[in-house]
Amino acid sequence: METMNVQSVTPNDMPWKIRYDASRCTLCGSCVAACSFRAIECKVERRRMVFSETELPEPKQRFSAVPVIRQVKSIKHYCRGCGICEKVCPNEAIRPERNIDTRHPVLIRCLHGEAIKRGGRKNLEAVMRTLDKIRVARISQMTDPSLDAQRHSFDLLAPFGRILPPKKLPMGVTPEGLLEVNRQTPPVRWVYPVIIGDMSIGALSWRMWEAVAMATAYLNEECGLPVRMCSGEGGVPVRLLKSKYLKYMILQIASGHFGWNRIAKAMPHMIEDPAGILIKIGQGAKPGDGGLLMAAKVAEHIQAIRGVPKADLLSPPNHQGLYSIEESVQKMFLSFNAAFKFRVPVAIKVAASATSVSVFNNLVRDPYNIVGGFFLDGIDGGTGAAHEVSLDHTGHPIVSKLRDCYLAAVAQGRQGQIPLWAAGGLGKTGDLAADAFKMICLGANGVFTGKLILQMAGCVGNEMGRCNACNTGMCPVGITTQEPALVHRLDVERVAQNIVNYFLAMDQELKKLMAPIGNSSLPVGRADALAAIDRGVAEKLQIQYVC
């Protein structure tokens, strides 16, 4: 018997076990080649065969060396359950299987002495979501006929920019009896109510980012849907900054200021204004953690675009130069408004939190009218890398917090003045139209989404711990890696096509939801159109309870 050490790492300590059927395997090696985590390897096993060649048993034995595929016994190269081996195997000879007895969370902390980092999604809860307990229940019927989603026209646009209270509009009546705006007003862009959320070049592979940018341009230029994409905090290719397609991009600045050097330098050469500026204060999936780009992903082109050396890149969890909301309004918002000569709306993104309403109130009451959007990010989203403890345990669900902010605006008669945009796990079930629509009825002007975009591109991760390796630079489908070999697995045109098709389908579905409640423009704040099948949800959101 071989000696063994109970402290040794074995596959049954791991979150996933490889199930391998040697009898089906042709030893083509595809699985080993394809596994970006190097979690499987070719090995030779010593086998003993006992046999008898006579009628009566006269046992003989034969030893042979058999080539096989085996799971690597390493805490570093462990299987993430991505299933790429199964995908590439011609004979269905190999697949990962979830190990419910895993000791991984304990082992990895014990062996590394460091906090666990992983790709971003919350993995603790698999309960029914709040949005799934809400129905669109006010169906127009006899006296207020529903509309026809195919035949009628719909105005599916949402504001991005600061909207003035009616009495502050600088308007006068001309002698001809016409109203005329006689002073500059804050810039407002009317865009599609689903913004492609902020995922940086760096977090995403350059090809993935390019695919999203291509899809955005196509949706605008060919499909007539004014979809906007947020750059994320990682800079923008200079060629794009100087192109006409910049008008579809929302440029993000966050606490790391990555990429802004290039953006600032490109400003004199811009032929279009960007769609907007989004100042990221916090991120819903990992509030207090900040962005984290592991050195493994800081490839040469990422160093160039961000202007940084190859190192772990952390966006600090807070903006080091700010210490109050009032100051942020004066300093940050004003400087960005001024930088683009007050032609480009400047918005803020914060993590949903117990304090969100206070932050929102402060901004909505600012006398300068310069904060052009409140992007509220809940706990259930997230695409980047972070500490597991942050991903799983910090943050605030988005639905009630969005509603709280809207009702705070209603209480002051200021609804709509700072457009509310919500995110955080929307589209988690694959159905973004329904989630977006319900959020709009609860008071959102629109929603933004990131994780779902990755899934459109072929991301195999899920909320049950599958893959979640965005931080490693080893993304098996080429979405969140800078390794050329892995990135080339991604078919850019196909990804762009998937995103475009998803948006077209979603557009039809949004109309299919607007038609029965009889609305031709977005029902922002029409909570009377909703009903909850859960009393707690109904009470908290102030919508009707039905059963």
Partner 1 sequence: MCRIGAIKSRNFVHPSQALLLMQSQQKGHDNSGFAMVMHDLGGIFAHHKHLPTLSMACTDEGLKLAEDMLHAAGFQRVLQWVPETNPQPGLDINAMPNYVFETFDYPKYFKSATQQEKENLLLDMRLKLRAALEKDEQGFVYSFWPDVATLKEIGDPRDIGTYFNLHEPDGKFTARVITAQCRQNTNYDIVRYAAHPFFLQGYTALANGENTFYLKNVEFQRKLHPGYIGFESDSQCFLYTLHYVHRELGWPLSYYKHVITPLPFEELEQRDDRETLLAIRQSLAHLEINGPNTIIGVLPDSTLFTCCDAKKLRPIVIGRTEDTVVFSSEVCGINEVLPDRDWECDIYPNEREIVTVGNELEVQRWKQ
Quote the least distance from Cβ 510 to partner 1, whole Å.
Answer: 15
**CA distance linking residue 308 with residue 318, whole number of Å:** 20
Task: Give the Cα separation of 228 and 446 in Å (integer).
Answer: 12
Which residue lies nearer to partner 1 by CB, 163 or 350?
163
Site for partner 1 in 492-531 (CB under 8 A): 517-521, 523-528
If one asks whether residue 88 binds partner 1 (CB under 8 A), the answer comes out as no
Start-end of H helices in 412-532: 432-441, 451-457, 484-487, 492-514
Which among 182-190, 214-222, 286-294, 371-379 is the span making contact with partner 1, rule CB under 8 A? 182-190
Q: Which of 4, 56, 178, 547 binds partner 1 (CB under 8 A)?
A: 178
Residue whose CB is less far from partner 1, 152 or 494: 152
Q: Which of 108, 163, 227, 302 binds partner 1 (CB under 8 A)?
A: 163
Q: How many CA atoms lie within 13 A of 456 on its CB side?
A: 28
Amino acid symbol at 347: A
CB of 423 vs partner 1, minimal distance in Å:
21
Q: Does 261 bind partner 1 (CB under 8 A)?
A: no
Is 149 a binding residue for partner 1 by CB under 8 A? The answer is no
Over the window 458 to 497, marking each residue x when it contacts partner 1 by CB under 8 A and - when it does not, the resulting string is: ----------------------------------------
According to DSSP, the β-strands at 194-196 and 179-181 are unpaired
Please give, one letter per residue, the 3-state secondary structure of 122-173. Answer: CCCCCCCCHHHHEEECCCCCCCCCCCCCCCCCCECCEEEECCCCHHHCCEEE
Which residue bears the tokens 């992903």?
297
How many positions of this chain bind partner 1 (CB under 8 A)?
A: 42
Residue 331 CB, shortest distance to partner 1, in Å, is 27
Query: Cβ of residue 155: shortest distance to partner 1, in angstroms?
Result: 5
Binding span for partner 1 by CB under 8 A among 101-109, 150-158, 276-284, 494-502: 150-158
**Other beta carbons less than 10 A from residue 30's beta carbon:** 17
Task: Considering only residues 392 through 411, tell me which ones interact with partner 1, judged by CB under 8 A.
Answer: 410
Q: What distance in Å separates the CA atoms of residue 310 and residue 490, rounded to the nearest whole number?
A: 24
State the minimum distance, in angstroms, from the CB of residue 460 to partner 1.
39
Residue 369 in the binding site for partner 1 (CB under 8 A)? no
Q: Are the CB atoms for 258 and 200 separated by under 8 Å?
A: yes
Part in contact with partner 1 (CB under 8 A); list of ranges 161-169, 202-210, 333-341, 464-472? 161-169
Query: Which C-beta is closer to partner 1: that of 3 or that of 143?
Result: 143
- Residue 359: strand, helix, or coil: helix
Among 175, 177, 268, 367, binds partner 1 (CB under 8 A): 177
Closer Cβ to partner 1, 138 or 349, answer by number: 138
Mask: binding to partner 1, 5-24, rule CB under 8 A, as x and -? --------------------
Give strand ranges (E) for 220-282.
229-230, 249-253, 276-280
Quick one: which of 1, 49, 56, 173 contacts partner 1 (CB under 8 A)?
A: 173
Closest contact distance (angstroms) between CB of 195 and partner 1 is 17
Q: By CB under 8 A, tell whether 190 contacts partner 1.
A: yes
| Whole-number Cα distances in Å, 277 to 135, 299, 336 | 34, 26, 8
155 binds partner 1 (CB under 8 A): yes
- Distance between CA atoms of residues 117 and 105, nearest Å: 11
From the list 167-175, 354-362, 476-484, 497-505, the region that binds partner 1 by CB under 8 A is 167-175
Closest separation between CB of residue 526 and partner 1, Å? 6
- Determine, following the binding rule CB under 8 A, whether residue 157 of this chain makes contact with partner 1: yes
Q: Phi, psi (5° rounding) for residue 544?
A: -75, 150
Residue closer to partner 1 by CB (options 280, 438) is 438
116 binds partner 1 (CB under 8 A): no
Smallest gap, in angstroms, from Cβ of residue 167 to partner 1? Answer: 7
- Packed helices 432-441 and 492-514: angle between N→C axes, nearest 10 degrees: 50
Among 171, 223, 339, 357, which residue interacts with partner 1 (rule: CB under 8 A)?
171
DSSP string, 362-398: HHHT-TT-----EEEE-TT---SEEEHHHHHHS---H
Task: Pick the closest to residue 73 from 116, 114, 13 (CA basis).
Answer: 13
**152 touches partner 1 by CB under 8 A:** yes
- Local structure of 431: helix, strand or coil: coil
Q: For the sheet containing 530-532, what is the strand order?
A: 134-136, 530-532, 544-545
Residues 435 and 447: their CA atoms lie apart, in Å, by 9
The pair of three-digit structure tokens given for residue 386, joined into one six-digit string = 């972070």
159 binds partner 1 (CB under 8 A): yes
CB 419 to partner 1: min, Å: 10
Q: Can you say how many angstroms the Cα of residue 407 is from the centroid of all Cα atoms in its chain?
A: 26
Indicate whether 143 belongs to the interface with partner 1 (CB under 8 A): yes
Asked whether 113 and 417 are in contact (CB, 8 A), the reply is no
Judged by CB under 8 A, does residue 422 bind partner 1?
no
Residue 120 dihedral angles phi and psi, to the nearest 5°:
-90, 105
In 3D, which of 516, 532, 47, 499 has the Cα closest to residue 229?
Answer: 499
Task: Pick from 62, 167, 239, 269 the residue near partner 1 by CB under 8 A.
Answer: 167
In the three-class reduction of DSSP (H, G, I as helix; E, B as strand; rest coil), residue 3 is classed as coil
The answer to whether residue 276 forms part of the interface with partner 1 (CB under 8 A) is: no
Q: Where along the sequence are the contacts to partner 1 (CB under 8 A)?
A: 140, 143-145, 147, 152-153, 155, 157, 159, 163-167, 169, 171, 173, 177-181, 185, 188, 190, 410, 412-413, 415-416, 517-521, 523-528
